[in-house]
Chains A and B, each alone.
Chain A
């Protein structure tokens, strides 16, 4: 029963906080007379980070008297809720396609990647290549990598992706229909094979094995961590920042950074509503400031601000800090525009003349083997 309490607490907070903030009943700050309220909608594991960032923001002149409502949950779910009208000024979602969904829904302007230059800049005078070196990835507020969490002592001696499909390995990874984290994990699993020189067919076959070794696919990254900490499975595939938070929380787990991992880039955007609120714009600016990025870095994220990243780099496994770290454009030059439908389209199509070799919706198709191989 030792770990039942954290699991209880974790799930209870995920659920209760999620539903309360959805109702807009829980301003995050204790400010008695807020001058403005900023509605934040984010993916599930951001909860702790935003609590810290918001408190720090409220201590700045721009943030005095600003109150927050927070809603954190599975990224695709959050995206759909905002598309359907949930109040949101700042949206920090798991991956770029979520923001694109909101652009299509008319909630976020199509020029959202420019917001970082216009509103988020620490030094608005920087232009051109100088801006590029300060913020190399417009619209991305935090980086991370896909990593593994295993039981204390790593009893199964898991080192890299190939170890995940060995007999007896039980993987926990969230459900790709609801979770952004799941998209990163599955994309990283596929990319890991390309990185070691396998061809597309071999990489797809690996993905099939990977999914067949999953024993649980909870609805969000947070729910997956909760299930893993409660004893389900023997490896959790997750964000590095989330894994570090679990270790810091004292859970009986340890991090294994796979040799061939994958760069996670989490986007943030001001919605059309948020653009009209000075408090929201100021908060957005704070997210990209040295102070804001420093807080993210202290919580296990990889900063997108070069100065902070240089200062905190040494905390991360060295081999994964190099520029050789794969990102989504290494799979295909079109990035998510190609990878998202290729792996996650709900409409599966097959290679010509085949009924078992998917061409589009690869992960969607292989989900039918979930749980069959462990």
Chain B
């Protein structure tokens, strides 16, 4: 994983200058329009009445309880998916079984399915009239399950290509030297996968913080209890409290940025240490 500056420079020289300039311009303009300007507008709204008002909106008990619930459920779902998603990726790459290609194709289903449909499906399957007699609506379990469904592809798809590209020669060597399967996995495979796993977890968590469609039904949307942050933001925005909505949103945004940045730093460090 070490870089070779001379080679990189040589390659760059062979790319026509106008191409990279044009691409850079397009990328920056596109990113600005789509992400940067709206984010700045959001922060401007959030601080429209000063940092005091921002903090007041964020520290309202209703807001705190919504944020706390959202963070807990997002973290729970991300952790469960980290284990389950890595196992799924492992099975998809290292295993051979009937229906494997179908499973592989279906992994992205949560991305394709409208999240509201997922929410309604969970409501009918695990709701008050559940054919399985399981009712998780109006609970943090229900919220976590819905979020876990929506974010699973992040965990699987982050790990899968790394597993595919890996030769497993080191593992084979360790095994011939007498290391146990568990020991090999812990000391060789897992560290190699760690950056990818972490990236998947970070993306899943950040995405989960803002999830609305799949959880708004299953949560029962009770303020102070089961209302998630995105729904609270929505209710603020639609009742004329746009600045408060922006304030709570920046809370989520900052948390997501911190998590993504930490994941980036940690996975780089892990990668470098190998």
Residues of A at the B interface (CB closer than 8 Å) are: 1-4, 7-8, 11-12, 15, 74, 76-77, 80-81, 83, 101, 175, 177-178, 214-219, 223, 227, 230-232, 346, 367-372
Determine which of A76, A223, A231 lies in contact with B239 in the assembled complex, contact meaning CB atoms within 8 Å: A76
CA distance A4 to B121 in the complex (A): 9
Tell me whether A177 and B235 are in contact in the complex, defined as CB-CB below 8 angstroms, given that A219-B221, A232-B128, A371-B222 are known contacts: yes
Asked if A217 contacts B129 (CB within 8 A), the reply is no
B138 within 8 A of A: yes
Q: What's the least CB distance linking A2 to chain B, in Å? A: 8
Asked if B123 contacts A101 (CB within 8 A), the reply is no
CA distance A4 to B227 in the complex (A): 23
B217 within 8 A of A: yes
Residues on A with C-beta less than 8 A from B237 are 80
Tell me whether A177 and B238 are in contact in the complex, defined as CB-CB below 8 angstroms, given that A367-B62, A371-B225 are known contacts: yes
List 4 A-B pairs, minimum CB-CB distance, nearest first: A231-B128, A177-B235, A216-B220, A4-B124
Asked if B137 contacts A232 (CB within 8 A), the reply is yes
Asked if B226 contacts A80 (CB within 8 A), the reply is no
Centre residue among A12, A214, A232 by max chain B CB count within 10 A: A232
B88 within 8 A of A: no
B131 within 8 A of A: yes
The residue in chain A whose Cβ has the minimal distance to the Cβ of B123 is: A230
Asked if B129 contacts A3 (CB within 8 A), the reply is yes
> Which of B198-222 touch A at CB < 8 Å?
216-217, 220-222
Tell me whether A80 and B220 are in contact in the complex, defined as CB-CB below 8 angstroms, given that A11-B116, A12-B117, A230-B128 are known contacts: no
- Chain A interface, DSSP helix/strand/loop, else mixed: mixed
Determine which of A8, A76, A217, A372 lies in contact with B120 in the assembled complex, contact meaning CB atoms within 8 Å: A8
Residues on A with C-beta less than 8 A from B244 are 346
CA distance A216 to B226 in the complex (A): 9
The residue in chain A whose Cβ has the minimal distance to the Cβ of B220 is: A216
Determine which of A1, A3, A11, A214 lies in contact with B222 in the assembled complex, contact meaning CB atoms within 8 Å: A214
Report the interface size class on chain B.
Answer: 20 to 34
Determine which of B127, B222, B236 lies in contact with A177 in the assembled complex, contact meaning CB atoms within 8 Å: B236
Asked if B223 contacts A370 (CB within 8 A), the reply is yes
Centre residue among B117, B123, B223 by max chain A CB count within 10 A: B223
Asked if A77 contacts B238 (CB within 8 A), the reply is yes
Asked if B129 contacts A177 (CB within 8 A), the reply is no
Determine which of B131, B220, B240 lies in contact with A217 in the assembled complex, contact meaning CB atoms within 8 Å: B220
Q: What's the least CB distance linking A97 to chain B, in Å? A: 11
Contact with A along B112-154 (1 / 0, CB 8 A): 0000110010011001110100000110000000000000000
Add 9 more A-B contacts to A76-B240, A177-B235, A232-B127 (CB < 8 A): A2-B129, A3-B129, A7-B123, A81-B238, A83-B240, A215-B220, A227-B123, A371-B220, A372-B225
The residue in chain B whose Cβ has the minimal distance to the Cβ of A5 is: B124
Q: What's the least CB distance linking A369 to chain B, in Å? A: 8
CA distance A76 to B235 in the complex (A): 9
Asked if A218 contacts B217 (CB within 8 A), the reply is yes
Residues on A with C-beta less than 8 A from B236 are 177
CA distance A1 to B61 in the complex (A): 38
Q: Could you jot down 10 A-B contacts, CB within 8 Å?
A: A1-B131, A76-B238, A76-B239, A80-B240, A177-B223, A178-B239, A218-B217, A227-B217, A368-B62, A369-B224
Asked if A175 contacts B221 (CB within 8 A), the reply is yes
Asked if B127 contacts A219 (CB within 8 A), the reply is no
B241 within 8 A of A: yes
The residue in chain B whose Cβ has the minimal distance to the Cβ of A10 is: B120
Asked if B124 contacts A219 (CB within 8 A), the reply is no
Determine which of B129, B226, B238 lies in contact with A371 in the assembled complex, contact meaning CB atoms within 8 Å: B226
Asked if B129 contacts A230 (CB within 8 A), the reply is yes
Residues on A with C-beta less than 8 A from B220 are 215-218, 227, 232, 371
Asked if A80 contacts B239 (CB within 8 A), the reply is yes
The residue in chain A whose Cβ has the minimal distance to the Cβ of B61 is: A368
